[in-house]
Structure 1
Amino acid sequence: MNKPKNTSMIQSLQIGFQIVDLIAEQDHPLKFTDIQELSGITKSNLYKYLNTLTYLGLVYRDKKQGTYSLGSKLIEYGMLAIGSQDVIGTVTPYLRDISRHTSLSALVAVWTQDSPVIANISSSNATLNIGAQIGNRLPLHSATGRIFSAFQHEHEMKEWKQTALEKLPEAERTAFEEEEAKIQREHFAYTAEPLVKHVSSFSVPLLKYDSELVGALTVVGFSTDVPKTPHHETSRYVLQCAEEISESFGYRKQ
């Protein structure tokens, strides 16, 4: 975590946010010893930084597990920064309902300046590692990424999409484009194990009155439990939830 000193900056503030960045980069909560090992900060100083960050709500400490994760204040700042607070507030009750009804994890993702990010998650299985947490950016090849590719304004996601597609062989790019047309027709995207082995997901769009995308509603679980088509009972339930959410934003199905 050693960086060149800059006399025009407050070094302790830099270190504090480097700790926040370190926690954000992981796909699971960290113990004190994990953070100490990764950061190289002395134990006495790290205690002070973590206590301060926890007090400010920038970091959350699970007292039972003794682990640290991103705090609610960061989530609040993030939602205000991307202007999606209304979306999150509307979708969150549905996430809980979907998670309870399907016994799968449910999340909502919204578009930032350059990629989709997870804004909230409801999980029915605390032991399931879905490979992502609130604030994580999602790749094009994920089910969520495919929904944004199919429905987000082209000029907003052009660079993000182009960068990802350039890494694919021509045959895979062609297959992706053909699949995208199907996603636009069915309002449904499925991807097998995009981030974690044995964990798959499907995603559906959330639209507003002018048919523009406001977010993606995604269901994640063990590959054996996640439906691959929009015709499955679970898929139909989630699509109905998405339709109700979209209607609250003025969308009317054609």
Structure 2
Amino acid sequence: METKRKNDTIQSLRIGLSIIEVIAKEGRPLKVIEIQEKTQITKSNLYKYLNTLIQENFLFRDSETSMYHLGSKLIQYGFAAMGNQDILPIITPYLQSISVRTRSSVIFAVPTYNGPVIAKIWRSSQILNIGAELGTLLPPRSSSGKIFHAFSSKLMIDSWNKEKDLSLPENELEKIKKDKIAFANEPLISQISSVSIPILSFDKELIGIVTVVGFSTDIPSTPDSEFSQYLQEVQLEISGKF
């Protein structure tokens, strides 16, 4: 029997990974010609690799600028594997406090070109299966999706809009922006609702989304409830740290 050598590799996989590495090292989106110059891959082969990486969400191509960004799949894998990004140690104690205060599960999601992706979950002691794990993309009709729509960059929203119906009534969208809180009454599962708040940087950029998920009887549906006002106070406190 032939002994398998330890240094056996798949060349095509290495080439694909080299494209991702080039964009990651540059720390900015790149055009095809820049990627080709740095990788020395022939143009015909490079397009094949790029198309494959886009299809699998490892890369994202902005149709307006024709520039290539790192894709949401990398963010999903990174958070799922590490769980210790700089923001998570700051966010985690708040997730725990919110869960204890509300007796509900709490999710922290980050914005990507495919929508909000779960990076951290703090589960309540209640017997409640929220049907989500690390790396899960949250749907447009969830309260997380509404926050994403209200506070994300135009590029991210346009990218998400290509495949999903993101239309929200203008009055609801404006109210979310004003109150910095969004509600979703049983968007996916009967008797399970959610409420979300945005985490914003000093320049109002969306850093993440905190979502409380629980039984509909326990989750508020208006911003004037004590529950909602508590979350709005938390929103200001967390955002103040960024």
- TM-score of the pair, normalised by structure 2: 0.64
1:198/1:80 CA distance change after superposition, 3 Å: closer
Matched, 1:208 2:206: no
Q: Tell me how far apart the structure 1 counterparts of residues 193 and 183 of structure 2 sit (CA, whole Å).
A: 8
Q: Tell me how far apart the structure 2 counterparts of residues 161 and 140 of structure 1 sit (CA, whole Å).
A: 10
Mapped contact 2:108–2:208 kept (Cα < 8 A): yes
- CA-to-aligned-CA distance 1:147-194 (integer Å, 9 cap, x gap): 01000001122121242227xxxxxx4x53331111111111100112
Matched, 1:142 2:142: yes
Identity between Structure 1 and Structure 2 (%): 44
Q: Report the 3-state secondary structure (helix = DSSP H, G, I; strand = E; otherwise coil) of the residue aligned with 2:107.
A: strand
Matched, 1:232 2:225: yes
Q: Tell me how far apart the structure 2 counterparts of residues 212 and 84 of structure 1 sit (CA, whole Å).
A: 21
Q: Pick from 164, 182, 185: which aligns with 1:189?
A: 182
What is the deviation of 1:97?
0.4
Mapped contact 1:146–1:189 kept (Cα < 8 A): yes
Pairing of 1:60-71 with structure 2 (within 5 A): none
Residue 237 of structure 2 aligns with which residue? 244
Q: Tell me how far apart the structure 2 counterparts of residues 186 and 128 of structure 1 sit (CA, whole Å).
A: 28
Residue 29 of structure 1 aligns with which residue? none
**Runs of 4+ residues deviating >4 angstroms:** 74-77, 80-84
Matched, 1:176 2:175: no
Structure 1's unaligned 5+ residue stretches are: 1-7, 11-73, 167-172, 250-254
Mapped contact 1:118–1:135 kept (Cα < 8 A): yes
Q: Letter of the 2:151 partner, please give it.
A: F
Q: Tell me how far apart the structure 1 counterparts of residues 83 and 213 of structure 2 sit (CA, whole Å).
A: 25
- CA-to-aligned-CA distance 1:38-83 (integer Å, 9 cap, x gap): xxxxxxxxxxxxxxxxxxxxxxxxxxxxxxxxxxxx9995139999
State which drifts further: 116-125 or 138-147: 116-125
Residue 152 of structure 1 aligns with which residue? 152
Residue 198 of structure 1 aligns with which residue? 191
Pairing of 1:43-82 with structure 2 (within 5 A): 78-79=78-79
**RMSD after superposition:** 2.9
1:195/1:205 CA distance change after superposition, 3 Å: same
Q: Tell me how far apart the structure 2 counterparts of residues 86 and 237 of structure 1 sit (CA, whole Å).
A: 25
Q: Letter of the 2:154 partner, please give it.
A: E
Residue 110 of structure 1 aligns with which residue? 110
Mapped contact 1:130–1:195 kept (Cα < 8 A): no
Q: Tell me how far apart the structure 2 counterparts of residues 114 and 145 of structure 1 sit (CA, whole Å).
A: 11
Between the two proteins, the alignment pairs up a number of residues equal to 173
Q: Tell me how far apart the structure 2 counterparts of residues 94 and 83 of structure 1 sit (CA, whole Å).
A: 15
Q: Tell me how far apart the structure 1 counterparts of residues 236 and 82 of structure 2 sit (CA, whole Å).
A: 23
Q: Tell me how far apart the structure 1 counterparts of residues 184 and 86 of structure 2 sit (CA, whole Å).
A: 28
Q: Report the 3-state secondary structure (helix = DSSP H, G, I; strand = E; otherwise coil) of the residue aligned with 2:187.
A: strand
